[in-house]
Amino acid sequence: MTTPTAPPTTPTTLTQQGPAIEITGPLRERYDEILTAEAIAFLTELHHRFGHRRHDRLADRMRRRFEIGNGHDPQFRDDTAHIRADENWRVAGAGPGLEDRRVEITGPTDPKMTINALNSGARVWLADQEDATSPTWKNVIEGQLSLRDAIRGELSFTSPQGKEYRVTAERTPTIVMRPRGWHLTEKHIRFIDRTGRPMAASGSLVDFGLYFFHNAQALIDAGRGPYFYIAKLESADEAKLWDDIFTFAEEYAGIPHGTIRATVLIETLPAAFEMEEILYELRDHCAGLNAGRWDYIFSIIKTYRGRGARFVLPDRSEVTMTVPFMRAYTELLVKTCHKRGAFAIGGMSAFIPNRRDPEVTQRALEKVAADKKREAGDGFDGTWVAHPDLIPAAQAEFDAVLGERPNQVDRQRDDVQVRAEDLLDLQIGRPITARGVRDNVSVAIRYLEAWLQGLGAVAIDNLMEDAATAEISRSQVWQWIHQDRLTEEGDRITVEYVEGLIAEVLAEAPRREGDRFDDAAAIFREVALQEEFPAFLTLGAYNRYLDA
C-alpha cells in the first residue's frame, strides 16, 4: 500500500486548516494500532469526498418513503429500462477465494466469535459490524483489532475461565466484512468539514475505511482480497456512491481498479425493484447479491405500515420464504444475478441447535435442511448459517445440487417472470394470534436488553435474533396497533394491551444487578407504541441508551 498523501492528523488533535477527524471515544489498549494518524487521514478524505452524497441519498430515502406512504407503489424504473434490456454487460464476479460460497457463516467480530468462525469449516465468513454487532465503541474498535490480527495469523483469546481459543483450521473461510448501513453514525468520531462544522461520522465509512486501510494489502498478499457485504441499500444511486468510494480507495492505496469485491444485500423493498441497476452501477466491483430476508420483511412492514389492512402481515412465524411475495423476491434475485454473472446468496435460517436439547437440535437441523434444499433447488449459489453446527446440514443440500461445481451461476432462470404486483402480494391468509403479539414483545425487549449489554446476535427461544428480527417484532406491533387489528382470540391490539404484555415480560425477566431491562422496555415503547414510527430502532437507542 502506498504512503497516504492526505495530511495526517493525530487521533485527538484537529488541524487548523481543511477538514479533519476528531476521536471522542476513550483510547484503550491497542486502539492506537487502529486509529493511526494515517488511518485517520484516510477517514478524513472519505468523509470530505463522500459525506455530503451520503446525506443526499438519505434524503432520497425519506422522499421515496413519503411517496409510497401516499399511495405511489414502487415500480420497475422506466428511465433505466435500457440497462435491463442490454444483454451484453456483466459484473466482475468472484474475486480470489470467492469462487465457491456454498455455505457462509455470519457473526460478530469479537475475538472468540472470530476464532469460531475461522475454525468453522464454512467457505466464507461474514464478519459483521452491522446487525450482529451492538455498536459500542469497544465492539467497533476491538472488532477491527480482531480482524487485523486474524488476517495476519496473530489472533488468540483467553476466556475469563482460562480457556484458550486459537485458529487451528488449515483452511479458513474467506472474510467478507459488513460495515454498518448508511443511516448509522459513529458518535465517538466527529468529522469537521472545511467550514468548521462538526458532525457525527458515518458508521459505514468508519467501518469500511478502517478495515480497508489496515487490511487490503495483507488480504491481497494472502491470495484473497478486500471484500465487503453492503447492507440496507435502497437504490442504484446508493450503489453508485459505494462504487465511487471503492474506486477512490483503490486509487488511494495504489491497488488495481476492481480489486474490491462487494456483495449487496437486497433487504429493502425499493432495492428489489432496482436489482439489475444496482448490479450495473457496481459492475466493476460486484460479486453478487444476497437475499437479506429478515430486513426485507421489516422493510415491507415499515414501507406499508399505514396503507391499510391488506398490507398487514400475520404472526412473524407465518411469514415464511414460501409465501407469495417472498417467493417472487428470491426468484427474481436468482434470475437477475445469473443473467449478469453474479452470485446469488441465500438468506439466514433463524433456527439454531441447542446442544442440551437433542429434540430442539433435531428440529432445527430438519428446518435448516428444508430451507437450504429449497434455495439450492431455486438456483442459489450459497447460503448463510449462524452456527457452526448447521454447516454440515446446509452444505449437504448444496453439495447435492452443485456436486463438484463451485457454483451454478451458469443456470439461467428464464422461466421466472416477476411483476411489480407479485412483489407486493402480501396476502398470506393467516391470523394474528395473542401468542404472536406476546412473542414479538418478549423477543424485542430481551434482544434490546442484550444489545444494550453489548451483544448484537442473541439466541432467544432457540432462534438467532439480531437487529433485523427485532425490527420485525417492534414494527409489527406498531402496525397492528395503528391498523386497529384484533387477535384470533378476539383481543384488540392497543397500546394498553401491549403495555400489559410489557409488564408480564418484565415480571418474568431474569433480573440481576446491572441489567438493562427497564431501558430496553423504554426503547420498545419509543419505537413500537408512540404515534411516530422511527425508521430504525437502533438510531435513538444508540444515541440515548448505549454505553461506550
DSSP codes, 54-120:
HHHHHHHHHHHHHHHHTT------STTHHHHH--S-------TT-S--SEEEEE--SHHHHHHHHTS
Q: What are phi and psi of 44, to 5 degrees?
A: -60, -45
Give the containing element (helix H, strand E) for 228: strand 227-230
Report the pLDDT averaged over residues 218-227.
Answer: 98
Interacting residues of 433 by C-beta distance below 8 A, sequence separation 6+: 315, 487, 488, 489
Report the C-alpha gap between 176 and 107 in whole angstroms: 11
Would you give the DSSP letter of residue 196? S
Q: What is the pLDDT of residue 17?
A: 60
Report the C-alpha gap between 419 and 421 in whole angstroms: 5
Other CB atoms within a 10 A radius of the CB of residue 435 amount to: 13
Fold of 20-422: TIM Barrel (3.20.20)
Task: For residue 293, indicate whether it is catalytic.
Answer: no
Cβ proximity of 306 and 482 under 8 Å: yes
Report the pLDDT averaged over residues 122-146.
Answer: 98
Q: What is the pLDDT of residue 286?
A: 98
pLDDT at 350 over 90: no
Amino acid making up residue 483: Q
Give the containing element (helix H, strand E) for 45: helix 37-69
pLDDT at 13 over 50: no
Other CB atoms within a 10 A radius of the CB of residue 304 amount to: 20
Residue of 110, 149, 207, 466 with catalytic role: 466
Q: What pLDDT digit, counting tens, does each position of 471-485 carry? A: 999 999 999 999 999
Q: What is the pLDDT of residue 548?
A: 67
Q: What is the pLDDT of the chain when averaged over all its residues? A: 95
Interacting residues of 506 by C-beta distance below 8 A, sequence separation 6+: 445, 517, 518, 521
Amino acid making up residue 18: G
- Sorted by where each begins, the domain ranges of the chain are 20-422, 431-544
Amino acid making up residue 346: G
Task: Give the torsion sign (CA, 219, 220, 223, 228).
Answer: positive
Q: What are phi and psi of 512, to 5 degrees?
A: -155, 165
Other CB atoms within a 10 A radius of the CB of residue 427 amount to: 12
| The Cα angle at residue 168 between residues 165 and 173, in degrees rounded to 5 | 105
pLDDT at 421 over 50: yes
Report the C-alpha gap between 204 and 231 in whole angstroms: 9
pLDDT over 90 for what percent of the chain? 92
Q: What pLDDT digit, counting tens, does each position of 280-314 carry? A: 999 999 999 999 999 999 999 999 999 999 899 99
Fold of 431-544: Malate Synthase G; Chain: A; Domain 4 (1.20.1220)
Q: Which three cell numbers stand for residue 362?
A: 433435531
Task: For residue 466, indicate whether it is catalytic.
Answer: yes
Helix axes 434-452, 495-508, angle to 10 degrees: 60
pLDDT over 70 for what percent of the chain? 97
Q: What is the DSSP pairing of strand 20-23 with strand 458-460?
A: unpaired
Check residues 17 and 352 and name the one with the higher pLDDT: 352
Residue of 178, 180, 224, 340 with catalytic role: 178
Q: What is the pLDDT of residue 14?
A: 40
Q: Which three cell numbers stand for residue 461?
A: 427461544
Interacting residues of 267 by C-beta distance below 8 A, sequence separation 6+: 231, 232, 290, 291, 292, 293, 294, 295, 296, 299, 468
Q: What pLDDT digit, counting tens, does each position of 489-537 carry? A: 999 999 999 999 999 999 999 999 999 999 999 999 999 999 999 999 9
Cβ proximity of 134 and 107 under 8 Å: no
